[in-house]
């Protein structure tokens, strides 16, 4: 299998097996983190050596914009690991083929579309990435909540993704608004805004900037926090007491694809025992029953039962009001 991971703002990264005659080829759009894509596709290469795969990695917002811009002439065969809140956009659902992917029948109803247009066996959750060395140098107290980040001493010390560009940004904002209610939720975000050094387009960047000591707190992803801690950065993964935002990462096949069989093969591989076990090593959230958190995740502070820290998110509400929420956020905080 030949794998090509493409970015819009960087040179192509190619991971190639020996050149052979490929029976099928796929073009995949994905919002998974680049580090994850490389790991998962290496395993897929072993399982499906005759399949050629080109992956275009885009942020959540840019992936949606590209899909809609290409609606008249779709270029992708399938979507792999994209925020279900975005996938549930009626304009996107119209582009997807109802299919039956082996293994998805075991997923709970809330993790798959009733018409078979998408399913989500994995997800991601938010976290605060706190640089413990910088925290100590500046004499700051470890923040455990959004309210703590509003303290004057954190001025210029916090980064967060822009929810209009990043699915991670939206999951944080959405969870806070659903947990506290719109009035109190917006008030909380208003109170933290003066301390924001920057709103980024990437969900992982705040954590990566915090781990290198550029800032003290990055409002980001648990995946990036766990990875950073495992790599030895002076970082603590903190789950805010108001509740942790999370998102399902959905996959589906484009109705326009002429590679339906190959797309089915790939998604069926993604539901295989080997793939699920691999996801369990890197994902904070796996919706398939019986998957235990990895040792590195536990060492980083991920609780055995993540339900104890998750916010009570309603994904139908998340999808239905996201346009309004993003517009209001832009009016309030756009820079």
Residues 103 and 38 in one domain: yes
The pLDDT tens digits for 121-153 are 999 899 999 999 999 999 999 999 999 999 999
Residues 273 and 241 in one domain: no
Query: Is residue 254 predicted with pLDDT exceeding 80?
Result: yes
Q: What residues are paired with 286 via a beta bridge?
A: 122
Instruction: Collect all residues with Cβ–Cβ distance below 8 Å to 96 and sequence separation of at least 6.
Output: 79, 87, 117, 118, 252, 253, 254, 255
Residues 58 and 198 in one domain: no
- Token pair of 321, please? 């009001």
- pLDDT at position 281, please? 84
CATH of the domain at 77: 3.40.190.10
Q: What percent of the chain has pLDDT over 90?
A: 76
Regarding beta strands 158-161 and 196-200, do their DSSP bridges make them parallel or antiparallel, or are they unpaired? parallel
Residues 141 and 282 in one domain: no
| CA angle (196, 201, 207) in 5-degree steps | 60
Question: Cα separation of 213 and 224, whole Å?
Answer: 15
The pLDDT tens digits for 230-253 are 999 999 999 999 999 999 999 999
Residues 23 and 131 in one domain: no
- pLDDT at position 23, please? 59
Query: Is residue 1 predicted with pLDDT exceeding 60?
Result: no
- pLDDT at position 205, please? 96
Average pLDDT, stretch 51-70?
93
* 326-330 long-range contacts, CB within 8 A, separation 24+: 326/163, 326/164, 326/170, 328/186, 329/163, 329/164, 329/173, 329/189, 330/164
- pLDDT at position 301, please? 87
Confidence of residue 70 (pLDDT cuts 50, 70, 90): very high
Residue 40's domain spans which residues?
2-120+248-291
Confidence of residue 7 (pLDDT cuts 50, 70, 90): very low
For the chain, strand residue ranges (E) read 2-7, 13-16, 24-30, 51-57, 78-83, 119-131, 158-161, 196-200, 217-221, 235-238, 246-253, 285-286
Residues 277 and 309 in one domain: no
- pLDDT at position 309, please? 92
Residues 283 and 308 in one domain: no
Residues 189 and 308 in one domain: yes
Residues 32 and 174 in one domain: no
Query: Is residue 12 predicted with pLDDT exceeding 60?
Result: no
Work out how many domains the chain is built from and give that number: 2
Average pLDDT, stretch 15-37?
72
Residues 201 and 311 in one domain: yes
Give the pTM.
Answer: 0.78
Residues 190 and 316 in one domain: yes
- pLDDT at position 28, please? 98
Residues 175 and 303 in one domain: yes
The pLDDT tens digits for 278-316 are 998 888 889 998 887 777 788 888 888 888 899 999 988
User: What is the chain's mean pLDDT, rounded?
Assistant: 90
The pLDDT tens digits for 158-183 are 999 999 988 899 999 999 999 999 99
Question: Cα separation of 166 and 60, whole Å?
Answer: 6
Identify the burial level of 262 via C-beta atoms within 10 angstroms of its C-beta, where 0-12 means exposed, 13-18 middle and 19 or more buried: buried
Closest to 224 in 3D by CA, of 239, 247, 207, 246: 207
The pLDDT tens digits for 193-220 are 999 999 999 999 999 999 999 999 999 9
Confidence of residue 74 (pLDDT cuts 50, 70, 90): very high
Q: What percent of the chain has pLDDT over 70?
A: 93
Higher model confidence: residue 25 or residue 151? 151
- pLDDT at position 335, please? 72
């Amino acid at each position: 299998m030949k794998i090509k991971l493409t970015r819009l703002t960087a040179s192509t990264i190619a991971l190639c097996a020996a050149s052979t005659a490929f029976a099928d080829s796929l073009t995949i759009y994905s919002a998974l983190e680049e580090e994850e894509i490389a790991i998962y596709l290496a395993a897929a290469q072993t399982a499906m050596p005759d399949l050629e795969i080109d992956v275009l990695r885009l942020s959540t917002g840019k992936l949606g914009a590209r899909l809609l811009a290409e609606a008249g002439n779709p270029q992708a065969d399938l979507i792999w690991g994209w925020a279900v809140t975005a996938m549930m956009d009626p304009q996107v659902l119209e582009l997807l083929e109802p299919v039956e992917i082996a293994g998805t029948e075991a997923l709970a109803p809330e993790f798959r579309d009733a018409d078979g247009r998408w399913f989500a066996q994995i997800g991601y959750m938010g976290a605060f990435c706190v640089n413990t060395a910088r925290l100590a140098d500046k004499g700051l107290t470890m923040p455990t909540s959004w309210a703590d980040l509003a303290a004057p001493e954190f001025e210029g010390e916090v980064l967060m993704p822009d929810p209009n560009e990043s699915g991670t940004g939206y999951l944080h904002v959405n969870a806070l608004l659903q947990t506290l209610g719109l009035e109190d939720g917006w008030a909380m975000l208003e109170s933290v805004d003066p301390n924001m050094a920057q709103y980024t387009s990437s969900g992982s960047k705040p954590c990566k900037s915090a781990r290198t000591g550029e800032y003290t707190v990055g409002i980001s992803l648990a995946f990036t926090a766990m990875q950073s801690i495992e790599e030895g950065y002076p970082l603590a993964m903190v789950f805010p007491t108001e509740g942790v935002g999370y998102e399902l990462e959905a996959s589906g096949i484009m109705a326009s694809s002429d590679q339906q069989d190959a797309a089915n093969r790939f998604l069926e591989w993604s539901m295989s025992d080997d793939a699920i076990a691999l996801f369990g090593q890197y994902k904070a959230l796996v919706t398939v029953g019986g998957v235990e958190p990895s040792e590195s995740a536990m060492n980083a502070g991920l609780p055995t039962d993540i339900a104890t820290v998750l916010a009570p998110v309603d994904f139908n509400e998340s999808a239905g009001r996201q346009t309004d929420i993003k517009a209001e956020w832009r009016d309030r905080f756009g820079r």
